[in-house]
Amino acid sequence: MQTVNKTIQMAFYQFFNGEIVPVAQPLLQTNDLGLLRGFGLFDYFRTYNGIPFRWDDYWNRFANSARLMKLDLPVTQEETSKILADLFALSGEADIAFRFILTGGYAPDSVHVIKPNFIIRAEPLPQDYPAGRLKGIKVLPYEYVRDLPEVKTTNYVHMILMADEMRHQSAADLLFHKDGEVSELTRSNIFLFKGNKLITSDRNILNGITRKVVLELAEPYFETEIRPVLLDEIMNADEIFTTSTTKWVMPVVGIGDHTVGSGLAGKHTLFLQGLFEKLIAGWGS
C-alpha cells in the first residue's frame, strides 16, 4: 500500500519560482514569512474534462487576494495558463486539482517582504464528503469572523483546533457567526431557502466561485437575496446548503443539535445540485 501511494504522489509535479519539480521535492527555506508569521495566501480549483473550471474567476480572486496582501505576483495569467497546462500533461490524469500558494518569501529580518515565493501544486482530485451531497452534512456553530475575509489566507487555525470536536460530533465543518450574524463555513459559502426564496450572505465572506456559479444557475428559477444573514434565519430555514470547489452543492441538515427542516436534503437544494452537476458534466464542450 505504501508503494502505491508513493507512486501516485510522484505522478504529480509542482511549479516553484520558475521551475517544475516533483511534489515530493522540498522547497522552502525556514525563514519564509509563511512559516515564520503565517503570512501567505492560497487558492484552489480543479479541472473538469481536462479544462480548468472558471479559470478567469479563480485567477481574478487570487490576484485580488495578492493585491490586498500587498504581494506582487511573479507571473501573468497567460504565463500561469501555460504552467497549468504543463502540470496537467505531466500528471497523466483525466482531471486534477491545482493549489496556488503565495507567501511573503524569505525575510532576513523575519518581518519585511522582499520577494514572494509562488508555488502551484498539481494534486489528486479531492474527496470531500461525496455521500453528503445526497444525505447532507452536520455543521457546528462557532463564534468567529475571519480576518480579511476577502483574502483566502493560509490561516485555518480555528478549523484545525476544532477538528477533534467535529469528529467527535460527526460534523463536517464549522458555521461561523458573530453578533447574531452568519458569514460562512470554514471552507465554503452558506445558502438558505425560506419557501422559494434563496438567501446568502454578502458580508465577512470569501467570494466563492462555486457560490457565484450557483447564483447564476438559480437566477431563472428563484427569487434571490444577497444580504446579511441572521443566525435566527439560519436556524429557522426550510433548507440550507453550502458550496465550494470540493463540496459542489451540499445540503446542510444539522447545525449542532438542531435539525434543519425535515432533516433531509431539500428539493430546491437537490434541484440546484442537479443544475450544477449538469454544468460540470459538459464543461469545456
Return the CATH number at 245. Answer: 3.20.10.10
226 and 202 Cβ atoms separated by less than 8 Å: yes
Residue 6 is predicted with a pLDDT of 42
Residues 67 and 191: their CA atoms lie apart, in Å, by: 28
**Which one has a higher pLDDT value, 10 or 47?**
47
Last residue of a domain, one of 123, 154, 187: 123
How crowded is residue 282: how many other Cβ atoms within 10 Å of its Cβ?
9
- Cβ neighbours for 251, distance < 8 A, ≥ 6 positions apart: 132, 133, 135, 136, 137, 239, 240, 241, 264, 265, 266, 269, 270, 273
Same domain, 146 and 266: yes
Last residue of a domain, one of 123, 158, 191: 123
Closest C-alpha to 210, from 141, 271, 277: 277
Last residue of a domain, one of 82, 97, 123: 123
User: pLDDT tens digit string along 217-238?
Assistant: 999 999 999 999 999 999 999 9
Sequence letter at residue 224: T
For the cut 50, the answer to whether the pLDDT of residue 10 exceeds it is no
Same domain, 209 and 257: yes
| CATH number of 19's domain | 3.30.470.10
Same domain, 77 and 196: no
Res. 261 pLDDT band, cuts 50 70 90: very high
Same domain, 88 and 155: no
Same domain, 83 and 158: no
Mean pLDDT of 259-269: 96
How crowded is residue 196: how many other Cβ atoms within 10 Å of its Cβ?
10
Mean pLDDT of 119-138: 88
Mean pLDDT of 157-165: 97
Number of domains in the chain: 2
For the cut 80, the answer to whether the pLDDT of residue 81 exceeds it is yes
Same domain, 66 and 162: no
Residue 5 is predicted with a pLDDT of 44
Percent of the chain past pLDDT 70, that is, above it, reads 96
| Residue whose cell numbers read 458569514 | 183
Same domain, 277 and 136: yes
Domain containing 274 equals: 132-281
149 and 109 Cβ atoms separated by less than 8 Å: no
pTM: 0.93
For the cut 60, the answer to whether the pLDDT of residue 1 exceeds it is no
Same domain, 95 and 148: no
Same domain, 97 and 139: no
3-state secondary structure the chain: CHHHHHHHHHCCEEEECCEEEECCCCCCCCCEHHHHCCCEEEEEEEEECCEECCHHHHHHHHHHHHHHCCCCCCCCHHHHHHHHHHHHHHHCCCCCEEEEEEECCECCCCCCCCCCEEEEEEECCCCCCCCHHHHCEEEEEEECCCCCCCCCECCCHHHHHCHHHHHHCCCCEEEEEECCEEEEECCCEEEEEECCEEEECCCCCCCCHHHHHHHHHHCCCCEEEECCEEHHHHHCCCEEEEEECCCEEEEEEEECCEECCCCCCCHHHHHHHHHHHHHHHCCCC
Same domain, 143 and 11: no
Residue 43 is predicted with a pLDDT of 98
